[in-house]
Protein backbone atom coordinates (compact mmCIF):
# COMPACT_ATOMS: atom_id res chain seq x y z
CA UNK A 1 0.00 0.00 0.00
CA UNK A 2 1.45 3.35 -1.05
CA UNK A 3 0.42 6.80 0.05
CA UNK A 4 0.55 9.97 -2.02
CA UNK A 5 3.22 12.47 -0.96
CA UNK A 6 2.05 15.54 0.90
CA UNK A 7 1.54 18.68 -1.11
CA UNK A 8 3.87 21.57 -0.36
CA UNK A 9 0.99 23.57 1.13
CA UNK A 10 0.17 20.70 3.50
CA UNK A 11 3.80 20.56 4.62
CA UNK A 12 3.75 24.30 5.47
CA UNK A 13 0.60 23.93 7.57
CA UNK A 14 1.79 20.73 9.28
CA UNK A 15 5.16 22.31 10.10
CA UNK A 16 3.34 25.29 11.62
CA UNK A 17 1.05 23.06 13.69
CA UNK A 18 4.06 21.03 14.86
CA UNK A 19 5.85 24.22 15.94
CA UNK A 20 2.69 25.39 17.72
CA UNK A 21 2.40 22.03 19.51
CA UNK A 22 6.03 22.19 20.62
CA UNK A 23 5.73 25.80 21.86
CA UNK A 24 2.57 25.02 23.84
CA UNK A 25 3.81 22.00 25.82
CA UNK A 26 3.63 23.90 29.12
CA UNK A 27 -0.07 24.83 28.68
CA UNK A 28 -2.82 22.94 30.46
CA UNK A 29 -4.03 20.03 28.28
CA UNK A 30 -7.50 21.55 27.79
CA UNK A 31 -6.06 24.93 26.79
CA UNK A 32 -3.53 23.31 24.50
CA UNK A 33 -6.25 21.26 22.78
CA UNK A 34 -8.43 24.39 22.40
CA UNK A 35 -5.53 26.31 20.88
CA UNK A 36 -4.69 23.56 18.41
CA UNK A 37 -8.35 23.06 17.44
CA UNK A 38 -8.92 26.78 16.97
CA UNK A 39 -5.87 27.16 14.75
CA UNK A 40 -6.73 24.04 12.71
CA UNK A 41 -10.31 25.34 12.26
CA UNK A 42 -8.92 28.71 11.18
CA UNK A 43 -6.75 27.10 8.50
CA UNK A 44 -9.62 24.91 7.28
CA UNK A 45 -11.99 27.88 7.12
CA UNK A 46 -9.48 29.96 5.16
CA UNK A 47 -9.09 27.16 2.65
CA UNK A 48 -12.83 26.47 2.18
CA UNK A 49 -14.41 29.93 2.47
CA UNK A 50 -16.32 31.43 -0.51
CA UNK A 51 -13.14 33.35 -1.38
CA UNK A 52 -10.52 30.79 -0.30
CA UNK A 53 -6.95 31.67 0.48
CA UNK A 54 -4.92 29.18 -1.54
CA UNK A 55 -1.46 30.18 -0.33
CA UNK A 56 -0.66 28.23 2.83
CA UNK A 57 2.28 30.51 3.56
CA UNK A 58 -0.11 33.49 3.60
CA UNK A 59 -2.49 31.67 5.97
CA UNK A 60 0.41 30.92 8.33
CA UNK A 61 1.62 34.53 8.06
CA UNK A 62 -1.81 35.80 9.07
CA UNK A 63 -1.82 33.49 12.08
CA UNK A 64 1.40 34.99 13.34
CA UNK A 65 4.33 33.21 14.99
CA UNK A 66 3.42 30.14 17.08
CA UNK A 67 5.08 31.65 20.16
CA UNK A 68 2.83 34.72 19.91
CA UNK A 69 -0.30 32.54 19.86
CA UNK A 70 0.94 30.53 22.81
CA UNK A 71 1.72 33.71 24.74
CA UNK A 72 -1.81 34.97 24.02
CA UNK A 73 -3.25 31.66 25.21
CA UNK A 74 -1.23 31.94 28.42
CA UNK A 75 -2.76 35.38 29.01
CA UNK A 76 -6.19 33.81 28.63
CA UNK A 77 -7.31 34.94 25.20
CA UNK A 78 -6.60 34.37 21.53
CA UNK A 79 -6.69 37.15 18.94
CA UNK A 80 -10.29 37.64 17.70
CA UNK A 81 -9.38 37.11 14.04
CA UNK A 82 -8.28 33.56 14.90
CA UNK A 83 -11.10 32.69 17.29
CA UNK A 84 -13.85 34.11 15.06
CA UNK A 85 -12.63 34.04 11.47
CA UNK A 86 -16.21 33.80 10.18
CA UNK A 87 -16.82 37.33 11.43
CA UNK A 88 -14.22 38.77 9.07
CA UNK A 89 -16.35 40.46 6.40
CA UNK A 90 -16.16 38.96 2.92
CA UNK A 91 -14.94 41.17 0.12
CA UNK A 92 -17.70 43.30 -1.38
CA UNK A 93 -19.30 41.88 -4.51
CA UNK A 94 -17.98 43.25 -7.74
CA UNK A 95 -20.13 46.12 -8.91
CA UNK A 96 -21.80 45.51 -12.25
CA UNK A 97 -23.79 47.65 -14.61
CA UNK A 98 -25.56 50.32 -12.67
CA UNK A 99 -29.11 51.30 -11.84
CA UNK A 100 -31.33 54.33 -12.08
CA UNK A 101 -29.36 56.26 -9.44
CA UNK A 102 -26.08 55.79 -11.31
CA UNK A 103 -27.54 56.90 -14.65
CA UNK A 104 -29.27 59.85 -12.98
CA UNK A 105 -25.90 60.90 -11.55
CA UNK A 106 -24.32 60.68 -15.01
CA UNK A 107 -27.21 62.66 -16.48
CA UNK A 108 -26.80 65.41 -13.90
CA UNK A 109 -23.10 65.64 -14.67
CA UNK A 110 -23.49 65.70 -18.47
CA UNK A 111 -26.78 67.28 -19.60
CA UNK A 112 -27.41 68.91 -16.22
CA UNK A 113 -24.06 70.68 -16.44
CA UNK A 114 -25.35 72.79 -19.33
CA UNK A 115 -28.68 73.59 -17.62
CA UNK A 116 -27.35 74.25 -14.10
CA UNK A 117 -23.57 74.53 -14.39
CA UNK A 118 -21.80 73.90 -11.13
CA UNK A 119 -24.90 72.79 -9.22
CA UNK A 120 -25.96 69.78 -11.32
CA UNK A 121 -22.45 68.25 -11.59
CA UNK A 122 -21.93 68.56 -7.83
CA UNK A 123 -25.32 66.91 -7.21
CA UNK A 124 -24.38 64.15 -9.66
CA UNK A 125 -21.03 63.58 -7.94
CA UNK A 126 -22.74 63.41 -4.55
CA UNK A 127 -25.00 60.66 -5.92
CA UNK A 128 -22.02 58.90 -7.53
CA UNK A 129 -20.03 59.05 -4.28
CA UNK A 130 -22.77 57.10 -2.49
CA UNK A 131 -22.81 54.38 -5.15
CA UNK A 132 -20.75 51.17 -4.94
CA UNK A 133 -20.65 50.96 -8.75
CA UNK A 134 -17.55 53.16 -9.08
CA UNK A 135 -14.12 52.69 -7.60
CA UNK A 136 -12.64 55.29 -5.23
CA UNK A 137 -10.22 56.30 -8.00
CA UNK A 138 -13.08 56.93 -10.44
CA UNK A 139 -14.93 58.98 -7.84
CA UNK A 140 -11.82 61.01 -7.05
CA UNK A 141 -11.28 61.70 -10.77
CA UNK A 142 -14.90 62.84 -11.10
CA UNK A 143 -14.60 65.19 -8.13
CA UNK A 144 -11.31 66.55 -9.46
CA UNK A 145 -12.88 67.36 -12.84
CA UNK A 146 -16.02 68.96 -11.34
CA UNK A 147 -14.26 71.04 -8.69
CA UNK A 148 -11.21 71.70 -10.85
CA UNK A 149 -13.25 73.12 -13.72
CA UNK A 150 -15.12 75.42 -11.30
CA UNK A 151 -11.90 76.62 -9.70
CA UNK A 152 -10.21 77.13 -13.08
CA UNK A 153 -13.14 79.15 -14.41
CA UNK A 154 -13.10 81.33 -11.29
CA UNK A 155 -9.35 81.97 -11.64
CA UNK A 156 -9.66 82.84 -15.32
CA UNK A 157 -12.64 85.11 -14.59
CA UNK A 158 -10.54 87.03 -12.08
CA UNK A 159 -7.70 87.30 -14.60
CA UNK A 160 -10.08 88.53 -17.32
CA UNK A 161 -11.65 91.01 -14.92
CA UNK A 162 -8.23 92.39 -13.98
CA UNK A 163 -7.30 92.64 -17.66
CA UNK A 164 -10.49 94.55 -18.38
CA UNK A 165 -12.05 91.99 -20.75
CA UNK A 166 -15.75 92.29 -21.58
CA UNK A 167 -18.26 90.75 -19.16
CA UNK A 168 -19.97 88.72 -21.87
CA UNK A 169 -16.73 87.00 -22.87
CA UNK A 170 -15.87 86.24 -19.23
CA UNK A 171 -19.32 84.82 -18.51
CA UNK A 172 -19.29 82.71 -21.67
CA UNK A 173 -15.85 81.31 -20.85
CA UNK A 174 -16.83 80.52 -17.25
CA UNK A 175 -20.04 78.85 -18.39
CA UNK A 176 -18.21 76.69 -20.94
CA UNK A 177 -15.44 75.76 -18.49
CA UNK A 178 -17.81 74.73 -15.70
CA UNK A 179 -20.25 72.94 -18.01
CA UNK A 180 -17.44 71.24 -19.92
CA UNK A 181 -15.73 70.01 -16.75
CA UNK A 182 -18.99 68.55 -15.43
CA UNK A 183 -19.81 66.96 -18.77
CA UNK A 184 -16.32 65.44 -19.07
CA UNK A 185 -16.62 64.05 -15.52
CA UNK A 186 -20.00 62.54 -16.45
CA UNK A 187 -18.56 60.90 -19.55
CA UNK A 188 -15.70 59.42 -17.50
CA UNK A 189 -18.17 58.05 -14.95
CA UNK A 190 -20.33 56.66 -17.77
CA UNK A 191 -17.28 54.87 -19.21
CA UNK A 192 -16.74 53.35 -15.76
CA UNK A 193 -20.30 52.00 -15.75
CA UNK A 194 -20.01 50.60 -19.27
CA UNK A 195 -16.77 48.84 -18.41
CA UNK A 196 -18.58 46.79 -15.75
CA UNK A 197 -21.35 45.43 -17.93
Whether 126 shows a pLDDT value over 50: the answer reads yes
Give the length of the chain.
197
pLDDT band at 188 (very low <50, low <70, confident <90, very high): confident
Of 102, 104, 123, 103, the residue nearest 182 (C-alpha)? 123
16 contacts: CB under 8 Å, gap ≥ 6: 60, 63, 66
Read off the pLDDT of each residue in 53-63 and give the average, rounded to a whole number. 82
User: Is-contact 132 145, C-beta < 8 A?
Assistant: no
Q: Which of 14-23, 95-104, 150-159, 178-187 has the lowest mean pLDDT?
A: 95-104
State what percent of residues in the chain have pLDDT above 90: 3
Average pLDDT, the chain: 80
pLDDT at 196: 61
143 in helix, strand or coil?
A: helix
Number of other residues whose CB lies within 10 A of the CB of residue 39 = 23
Of 187, 116, 175, the residue nearest 149 (C-alpha)? 175
Of 117, 103, 121, the residue nearest 172 (C-alpha)? 117
Amino acid sequence: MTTAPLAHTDVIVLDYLAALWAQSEDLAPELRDELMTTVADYVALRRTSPSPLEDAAEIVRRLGPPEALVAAARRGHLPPHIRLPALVPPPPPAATGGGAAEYTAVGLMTAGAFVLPGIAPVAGMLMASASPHWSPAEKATGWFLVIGSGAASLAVAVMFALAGAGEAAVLLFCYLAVAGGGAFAGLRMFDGLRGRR
